[in-house]
Amino acid sequence: MNSTMQAMLLTRITDLAQDPQPLTLAEVPTPRPGEGEVLLQVTACGVCHTELDEIEGRTPPPRLPVIPGHQAVGMAAGFGPGARRWKEGDRLGVAWIFSACGACPACRSGFENLCPDFRATGRDANGGYAGYMVAPQDFAHRIPPAITDELAAPLLCAGAIGYRSLRLAGLADGQRLGLTGFGASAHLTLLLAKHLLPHSPVFVFARSPGEQVFARQLGAAWAGDTGEIPPENLEAVIDTTPAWQPALAALRRLAPGGRLVINAIRKEANDQADLLGLDYPAQLWLEKEIKSVANVTRRDVQEFLELAAAIPIRPEVETYPLAEANQALLELRSRRIRGGKVLKIT
């Protein structure tokens, strides 16, 4: 193992519209695993909208520089003192949840995603846009043999958070599901819903005609623009967009007693719409609910990986070399997407 590695570094908070090269390719020291940590030789890492939130300051890293990336897949290549859970060569993945305290009321009740000491991979600790990374051994996940590294990467966040969102939607089979936005997470949620809720039609709201076509190809019962009216009202809508307008439109599409699940770490502050403009009788009355999704737990990640291997669910991905991470992020920001984006590291 070399003493140095290549990594994409985030050194400044910036606006990609004005600064299209926010990450710098650099030669940095290879990390050494500490107590209870595993060293991962990264082979693939997914590119997520949350990286845009980090770069543009909506969920900024506590310190800079930092190596982004929280959908990292690779092989166990070294171990710190006391790390005995894995063996060398095991294929492992690291998701958004880098660590939690394990002792607070949230952790003890199974909600480690709400831990006040929750640490995020690629934000609070260096992530997978690099040749190597370290992670606590108990927060690494075995990758099922049937799933390749490139296809496993989006499952660790886009898939796991979609799985959590679908559980929080609380749908019974046969009830109608809406998806607002159709990126990496939503396309995996659609595939998952078709398996877990085979009698539930899925309605997709997306601005891009290409995304609408993609949704129909994957089995959506209907796909249209975010402002269009679907043929039926919906018992639940999962919103994956960074803007308020689609969420407000989704509330109008809910049936009485329906639930809007917002799967977004932040909503854009400069959006012309927000909840202050809520039309209560039309959008929230009749016992409708709004539920937010915060992070993921290890249970979400592991259960979804096992489901994805068994169903099977295989994401559609576009791959890029590590040095083209900025290009992948720009395409994500401008909605030039079809499925997930993945960096091939080694």
Residues 285 and 175 in one domain: yes
Residues 139 and 9 in one domain: yes
Measured CA to CA, the distance from residue 98 to residue 86 in angstroms comes to 17
Measured CA to CA, the distance from residue 54 to residue 242 in angstroms comes to 13
**Does residue 60 lie in a domain region?**
yes
Q: What is the pLDDT along the chain (346 residues), one digit of tens a residue?
A: 789 999 999 999 999 999 999 999 999 999 999 999 999 999 999 999 999 999 999 899 999 999 999 999 999 999 999 999 999 999 999 999 999 999 999 999 999 999 999 999 999 999 999 999 999 999 999 999 999 999 999 999 999 999 999 999 999 999 999 999 998 899 999 999 999 999 999 999 999 999 999 999 999 999 999 989 999 999 999 999 988 889 999 999 999 999 999 998 887 766 666 777 788 888 888 899 999 999 999 999 999 999 999 999 999 899 999 999 999 999 999 878 788 999 999 7
What's residue 279's pLDDT?
85
Across-strand partners of 203?
178, 222
**Does residue 297 lie in a domain region?**
no
What's residue 130's pLDDT?
98
What's residue 299's pLDDT?
97
Residues 253 and 220 in one domain: yes
Residues 103 and 177 in one domain: no
**Does residue 233 lie in a domain region?**
yes
**Does residue 85 lie in a domain region?**
yes
What's residue 278's pLDDT?
80
Residues 134 and 250 in one domain: no
What residues contact residue 323 under an 8 Å CB cut-off, 6+ apart?
8, 25
166: containing domain: 160-292
**Does residue 59 lie in a domain region?**
yes
What's residue 270's pLDDT?
64
Residue 68 sits in a domain whose CATH number is: 3.90.180.10
Residues 170 and 215 in one domain: yes
Residues 216 and 115 in one domain: no
What's residue 269's pLDDT?
66
Residues 47 and 138 in one domain: yes
CA 73-77-79 angle, to 5 degrees, is 110
Residues 213 and 250 in one domain: yes
**Does residue 151 lie in a domain region?**
no
Residue 234 sits in a domain whose CATH number is: 3.40.50.720
**Does residue 311 lie in a domain region?**
no
163, 307 contact by CB (below 8 A): yes
Across-strand partners of 45?
72, 343
Q: And the tokens for 87?
A: 């063996």
What's residue 192's pLDDT?
96
Buried b (16+ CB within 10 A) or exposed e, 7-41: bbbbeeeeebeeeeebbeeeebebbebeebbbbbb
Q: What's the total number of domains in the chain?
A: 2
What's residue 271's pLDDT?
64
Beta strands in 140-233, from DSSP E residues, in sequence order: 140-142, 177-180, 202-205, 222-224
Measured CA to CA, the distance from residue 198 to residue 48 in angstroms comes to 28
Q: How many CA atoms lie within 13 A of 251 on its CB side?
A: 22
The residue among 67, 53, 180 whose CA lies nearest residue 128 is: 67
Residues 338 and 254 in one domain: no
**Does residue 307 lie in a domain region?**
no
